[in-house]
Chain A
Amino acid sequence: MSEFVFKGRLWVLKDDKGNLIEDIDTDQIYHNAYLHITDISEMGRYALGNLEGWKDFPSKAKPGDIIAAGRNFGAGSSRQQAVDCFAALKISLIMAPSFGAIYFRNAVNSGFPVLKCAELEALAEKEHIKTGDRVEIDIRIGKARNTSTGETFQVEPLSSVQRQIYEAGGLFAFAQSMEER
């Protein structure tokens, strides 16, 4: 059974001025220097390794944590390591106002939940969500709640294809189930 309701500790990716960081590209998420690595379990330690102020993220992250990022998260290269490194750290999901197109596909195909949230910038600015808060998100209906403050907000629920692949447990399982039909 796939999990649909996530409860976890939140990381809000802000810069030193307190703004949600936009355009976090794949070079900042997972640098070129480690592209030769093909084993996913080794990728976690490089997550956000090139993002100013967040280089120590892998040592601080715990399984089940949730990430909130600025618009156009994952812009740039098609490298899937930029998704896999979060999966390796067992991050449960990432939300952002928008994602790089290929990044979004990579996450969907990996069965890794990425959710668009239009009001994220406002929520972060007003500090209605902060690093360290506990949040609860139902990815089927997009209902989200900051359990530390009681604040509720909406994220885009999984789309139909996203949900099918997620439920199957990733693209391979999904494709195999299609073949069998």
Chain B
Amino acid sequence: MGKTFSEKVLSAKSGKDVRAGDIVTVSPDYILSHDNSAAIIKKFRMFGVERVSRPEKIVIVLDHVTPASSEKYAQNHKEIREFVKEQGLSHFFDINNGICHQVFCEQGFALPGKLIVGSDSHTTSYGSLGVFSAGIGRTEAASVWATNEIWLRVPETIKIELSGKLKPGVSAKDVILKIIGDNGADRANYKAVEFIGPAAQEFSISSRFVLCNMAAEMGAKNGYFPADKTVEEYLSSITGEKIEPVCSDEDASFESVLSYDLSLIGPQVACPHTVDNVKPVSEVEGLAFDQGLIGTCTNGRLEDLKEAASILKGKKIAPSVRVIVVPASRQEYLKALREGVMETLIEAGCVVLNPGCGPCLGAHQGVLAPGERALSTANRNFRGRMGSRDSEIYLASPATVAASAVGGKLCDPRKYL
């Protein structure tokens, strides 16, 4: 019997022949944390060791509340900077870099076959580059800092075969929303999700990122695309390291196999207050909203910003809405600037924020008032996530958010093609 991707990576890392369900103790290649490093530091101090075990494995990116919005957040950032200095951590990225998951990939830490853990649930994103990457909590993050080890349960794997060609105006976001809507927010709890098939290979790295990022919203431990030529090309400009892809064997055992023909998928919307409450745009068309959000780690790359700009070019957003744009990183921001994409968005009336998590998690920048409704490209629509618990969040693609912003009401982006 062959092995799945996850069984292979965790077998190699543990030095044992392991299968789904086994528990392994492994040393991750990298460990990511963000503003929550302040809390991790507190935990680490309780562990009883002076120095972190492997400083070169620790990656810290400040992104959640940047620049600091209050004295408390400023104090947390300050403690993190001091810790970075004290422990001699070289992989520290301050507030001017962007959202941790995007920055992590840009900096060449995410390589095929690597094992990466991060104290953020969307650590699953690096599966877009063929990485086994999973979110963990901060106690275990502190423990990994101290011991260089973590226990993991080898996950079963759900294989999702993608075929067919996406219709114009439909994107990776619609695909993953459709999959989550059909299967439920807990369908992949504790499990791995493999995206494979001819249509999977057609996806850009940016689009793969969207699917792996949101695999977390099915409860997945990790989500991934097998590394291929597209990954190799993407990484060639970032790192000189030799790429060694890991793929599931043909005869590996899968928990289940799902199939999707992308040509049959139209624009989708996740309605409040769970990500699996998904409907075709046509069913909610005409719904007025107050705030649009284009960007975040889910949809804040050049590909996404361009998709929005192509619709907003020469148009103005409705006076009844405000639209916030958050690029995923400084690099993506710069690319969009140089291509004139940002100019188009600003001319249309959008407000551009610095790359960071900002409004997505409701800590600052664009917090919603009671009774307000947001239409967002982010990954979560939990009650109260963006501010008041009496506000609502609808999730959609950049094209859908941009098109809807023009009339101030939810609409099918294909009417602007």
B-binding residues in A (CB < 8 A): 23, 25-28, 31-33, 35-36, 38, 50, 52, 71-72, 75-80, 83, 98-102, 104-106, 109-110, 160-161, 170-172, 175-176, 178-179
- Nearest opposing residue in chain A for B220, CB measure: A101
**Residues B186 and A71 in contact, CB atoms below 8 Å apart:** yes
- Closest chain-B Cβ to A63's Cβ sits at a distance in Å of 22
**Residues A32 and B149 in contact, CB atoms below 8 Å apart:** no
Q: Is B361 an interface residue (CB 8 A)?
A: yes
List 10 tightest A-B contacts by C-beta distance, closest first: A106-B137, A72-B186, A27-B382, A36-B72, A80-B137, A78-B121, A25-B382, A38-B39, A78-B135, A101-B190
Contacting chain A: which of B41-49, B229-237, B247-255, B403-411?
A: B41-49
Q: Is B303 an interface residue (CB 8 A)?
A: no
**Residues A172 and B383 in contact, CB atoms below 8 Å apart:** no
**Residues A101 and B137 in contact, CB atoms below 8 Å apart:** no
In the complex, 19 of the A-B residue pairs with CB atoms within 8 angstroms, ordered by the A residue number, are A23-B274, A25-B274, A27-B383, A28-B383, A38-B38, A50-B389, A78-B119, A80-B138, A80-B139, A98-B189, A101-B190, A101-B219, A102-B136, A110-B139, A161-B23, A172-B142, A172-B146, A175-B47, A178-B25
A175–B27 Cα distance when bound, in Å, is 13
What count of chain B residues pass the 8 Å CB interface test?
50
Q: Which of B100-130 contact A (CB under 8 A)?
A: 119-121, 123
**Residues B219 and A72 in contact, CB atoms below 8 Å apart:** yes
Q: Is B256 an interface residue (CB 8 A)?
A: no
Which of the residues A98, A102, A104, A176 comes within 8 Å of B121, measured between beta carbons? Answer: A102
Chain A residues within 8 Å of B137, by CB: 78-80, 83, 102, 105-106, 109-110
Chain A residues within 8 Å of B25, by CB: 178
- Nearest opposing residue in chain A for B361, CB measure: A32
A176–B147 Cα distance when bound, in Å, is 8
A-binding residues in B (CB < 8 A): 23, 25, 36, 38-39, 42-43, 46-48, 64-65, 70, 72-73, 76, 119-121, 123, 135-140, 142-143, 146-147, 149, 151, 153, 185-186, 189-190, 219-221, 274, 361-363, 380, 382-385, 389
Chain B residues within 8 Å of A110, by CB: 137, 139
**Residues A72 and B185 in contact, CB atoms below 8 Å apart:** yes
Contacts A26-B382, A175-B146 supplied; 18 other A-B pairs, CB < 8 Å? A23-B274, A27-B383, A27-B385, A31-B389, A32-B363, A35-B363, A38-B42, A72-B219, A75-B219, A77-B120, A77-B121, A78-B119, A80-B138, A109-B137, A161-B151, A175-B147, A176-B47, A176-B48
What total count of A-B pairs have CB within 8 Å?
Answer: 124
Chain A residues within 8 Å of B153, by CB: 161
Chain A residues within 8 Å of B380, by CB: 25, 27, 76-77
**Residues B185 and A75 in contact, CB atoms below 8 Å apart:** yes
Chain B residues within 8 Å of A102, by CB: 121, 135-137
**Residues A78 and B76 in contact, CB atoms below 8 Å apart:** no
A106–B120 Cα distance when bound, in Å, is 12
A38–B42 Cα distance when bound, in Å, is 8
**Residues A99 and B189 in contact, CB atoms below 8 Å apart:** yes
**Residues B385 and A32 in contact, CB atoms below 8 Å apart:** yes
Chain B residues within 8 Å of A98, by CB: 186, 189
- Closest chain-B Cβ to A94's Cβ sits at a distance in Å of 15
Centre residue among A52, A76, A99 by max chain B CB count within 10 A: A76
A21–B102 Cα distance when bound, in Å, is 34
